[in-house]
Amino acid sequence: MLERAEGYVEEIPYTYGYQPEIAPANMAFALAIAGIEAPAVRIACELGFGQGVSLAVNAVAGDAHWFGNDLLPEHVAHARGLVTDTSAKITLTNETFAEFGARADLPSFDYVALHGVWSWVSASNRAIIVRFLRERLVPGGVVYIGWNTLAGWRSMLPLRERMLEEIRRLRSTGHSLESAIASARATVIAERDPETEVALKFLRRQSIPYLAHELFNRDWQPMEFGALACDLAAAGLEFAAEARPVDAFARLNFTAPQRSMLEGLDVIAREETKDRLLARKFRRDYFRKADGAPPATARPEFHDLMLVRRSIVCDDIVAGASAVRIDPELVRHVVNSLRPGPARIASLITARFGRESVLECVAALIRAECAVPIAADDSREVSNRRAADCRTLNARLLELSHRHPEASVLASPLTQAGVEGDRATLDSPETLNILGLIDENSS
């Protein structure tokens, strides 16, 4: 193991998934639901980008210049391979957080993303990240952070310690990390401690590679929302919104008594209470850097929405932690309105279907991967260039998805983000046409 890896699991490869919440267009829509106007993202950064799928998609499909830094050279090489022969503006580095933050040639960033980083690094590295955000994020800039919450992981803490002891013992006798984790999991499951039954069910469901990276890096620190907010406040950051639009609608996630309980709470108490009510393991949040003035207001209905699935069973759309069934007539109205092409969300609001109901439906369709918010139009020349670049990247992503199904995503020049789905759907002519990926010059 490299000394610079600082306890990060290297022996088992990291996953190849795409994180839609990192895309600037999705960030702008989620902030608009919270009433906040997003900054124009011209220069962005992803810290700890893993296999680089999200980074590559965002750099190729959008206009921003993306900087990406990751500790592992194989991650940097993989990301570089994805964007080769495209005109994407991307700068990749293989450095520690301290080394990257100390670079004299770094610009200021409008947007910084960290997915699966914060909870898996040491306190000293979290302090380095905070300093980086304080020094490098512009006032009014936004941070996306995907991190582990204590509410959902509390019962796992003692199990993890017992598994770590067993893993260390097995590793000392020559076992591979993968076999050591498998054996340690079998041991704690066999003990059948009733106080940790929820955690045991989780362990049974997960793959060994997932557990290796989730639980068995040297550093693993789930925390309360208030602790995270306090740390980020040192960089001048304030909570802006949850990153998944469906999480913004209380009716979709909480019972009426729970909603009454949440009313009147301050931000930290409200978010921590939500985490406990949902027993939430992982949060996806946007924080905004204060700039001395209230953030400009935005309205989500002034965003455009695009349908990316034609075959939608309108009776089956449910959303949120409460699995609320969205009115099929409302779903049918929204879907039929979008079939001719992208539409302004405001145009979907009618006397029968009010603003809140339409926005809930839109959030549900986004969560179901049936629709996506789209970025503002730009010149056809740029769109044609972007489409060609996306086709180059997508050929690699489709090949990658043969070996790693979690990489089933296509970069779209229309959404300036990725669109997820099963491989057969993504590779169909209909989907390629919807996403603006048909080469009009090909025979």
Nearest to 387 by CA among 443, 310, 440: 440
Distance in angstroms (rounded) separating the CA atoms of residues 43 and 67: 8
Element (H, E) at 383: helix 380-403
Specify the pLDDT at position 164. 84
> Does residue 174 have a pLDDT over 60?
yes
- In a 3-state reduction of DSSP, which class is residue 342? coil
Q: Which residue has the higher pLDDT, 152 or 194?
A: 152
Average pLDDT over residues 302-324: 86
CB atoms within 10 A of CB 413: 23
pLDDT band at 441 (very low <50, low <70, confident <90, very high): low
Query: Is the pLDDT assigned to residue 311 strictly greater than 80?
Result: no
Q: What is the DSSP string of 246-305?
A: GGG-GGGTS-HHHHHHHTT--HHHHHHHHHHHHT-SEEEEEEEE--SSPPPB--GGGSEE
Tokens of 102: 């100390």
Residue-wise pLDDT for 182-220, tens only, equals 888 888 888 777 767 788 888 888 888 888 888 888 889
> What is the reported pTM?
0.92
**Rounded to whole angstroms, how far apart are CA atoms 395 and 231?**
41
Torsion of CA 5, 176, 165, 169, to 10 degrees: -120
Task: Please provide the average confidence, as pLDDT, over all residues in the chain.
Answer: 90
Determine how β-strand 137-148 pairs with β-strand 109-115: parallel
Q: N- to C-terminal Cα distance for the chain?
A: 51
- Residue tagged 């592992």 (tokens): 72
The answer to whether residue 225 scores a pLDDT higher than 50 is yes
Alpha carbon distance 301, 303 (integer Å)? 5
* Per-residue model confidence as pLDDT tens digits over 366-394: 999 899 998 765 544 567 889 999 999 99
User: Collapsing DSSP states into helix, strand and coil, what is residue 44?
Assistant: strand
Most confidently modeled of 106-110, 204-208, 428-432? 106-110
Pairwise CA distance, residues 412 & 383, whole Å: 10
- DSSP letter string, 78-139: HHHHHHTTS---EEEE---HHHHHT-TT---EEEEEEES-GGGS-HHHHHHHHHHHHHHEEE
**Selected residue with higher pLDDT from 13 and 99:** 99
